[in-house]
Structure 1
Amino acid sequence: MSDDEFINEASSLDEQTHTELRMMHQEGAEALLFAKKLQWQSVGSSLLVFGASIAISMSNLADKSLIDLLVVMIIVLTCGVILVLVLYQFWQFNEITRIKKIDGHFSSLYKSIKDVKSSREGNYHRYTLLVAMVLTVIMGAAVAIVSIQKSLMALPN
């Protein structure tokens, strides 16, 4: 036998346990995708609120106290969204850890295919996207605050 020849070692689990692990693996993968979806929805909805705040500040109804309130709301919302993004990232980390524990009980062929993408590469992608999301929210907040403050300057004294 050569070193390149692959020999698959089947899982030593009984059928019921194997089925349970497959179900847990599927649930973990779905939870992971759900957390990612929630992250992007949090970013998108915060940007929509920032846009609505700009529109409100430019309306005839805006006065100095409303504009000040909008600025405070944007700052609080930005901090809250960043916290939520980090919490969702921890949730993803926990699901990935659980999935990796489950993966150790499957066949050697499964492990071989699963290891095509390194965990380091996956972590790099995950945390790069997290930083991009946080920066997007911060930039959106900055644009909103600058726009709102320009509306304040345009108000009659």
Structure 2
Amino acid sequence: MAKAPKAESEDSGETTITVEPSDLDELTHAEMLELYRASANTIRFAKHQQWGTLLGALGLFVLLGLTGDYASKTGFLFKLCIIISLVLSVGAIYSLIIYQFWQNAEREKMNIIAERFSNLTRLIRGLVTERERNFHRYVLLFFMIISIVLGNWLLIVFLAPRT
């Protein structure tokens, strides 16, 4: 039996909750479950894309570093490597932010759908506050962005002419 700080059981002294099912009819409930599942899958996909964008950008920095290191320091290819790295950084950071907004839109859908489910579902979803979840998400996004900025900075420092 699920525990919650709502009502006390007389025999054991532990707390229990009475599950109140949703008011949705069976077909609407199934439809809501499918929409919820689709939003969860979309969030997973967007997170995967975020990590792929980060790793791809860092990998391209390595390739640009290798290419720029073998190019003439005054030649076009060297300058092109620097320009590409800057454009890549801006594009990758923009993509990370877009994926974050996409995830937030899907989470909003999930919140609206979850309000229609049973009180037990709402209780379980409420164990971690929205503020705490957002904090974790944005700290991770911040570190992804910082990783790209630092990766680009390291590339430019690596390619800087040595005296």
2:122 counterpart residue number: 111
* Sequence identity (%): 30
- Picking from 79, 84, 95, the partner of 2:90 is 79
Does the 8 A contact of 1:43 with 1:81 survive in 2?
yes
Structure 1, gaps ≥5 residues long = none
Tell me how far 1:62 sits from its aligned partner: 3.8
2:156 counterpart residue number: 145
Tell me how far 1:114 sits from its aligned partner: 1.2
1:69 counterpart residue number: 80
* CA deviation map 1:54-111 (0-9, x unaligned): 111222x445221111111111110111110100010011000000000001000111
RMSD across aligned C-alpha pairs, in angstroms? 1.6
**SS class of match (2:160):** helix
- Picking from 135, 145, 162, the partner of 1:124 is 135
Report which of the two has the higher share of helix.
1
Tell me the TM-score normalized by structure 2: 0.87
Structure 2, gaps ≥5 residues long = 1-5, 9-14
* Residue 54 in structure 1 maps to residue 61 in structure 2: no
Specify the code of the residue in structure 2 equivalent to 1:52.
L
* Residue 43 in structure 1 maps to residue 84 in structure 2: no
Report 1 or 2 for greater relative contact order, CA contacts < 8 Å, sequence distance ≥ 6. Answer: 1
- Aligned in 2, Cα 1:38/1:108: closer, same or farther, shift over 3 Å? same
Query: Structure 2: how far apart are the matches of 1:124 and 1:63?
Result: 43
* CA deviation map 1:25-79 (0-9, x unaligned): 00000100111110010010000110001111222x4452211111111111101
Q: How many residues align?
A: 151
Tell me the TM-score normalized by structure 1: 0.91
Tell me how far 1:2 sits from its aligned partner: 4.2
Does the 8 A contact of 1:67 with 1:149 survive in 2?
no
Tell me how far 1:5 sits from its aligned partner: 4.0
- Aligned in 2, Cα 1:2/1:27: closer, same or farther, shift over 3 Å? closer
2:3 counterpart residue number: none
Specify the code of the residue in structure 2 equivalent to 1:108.
N
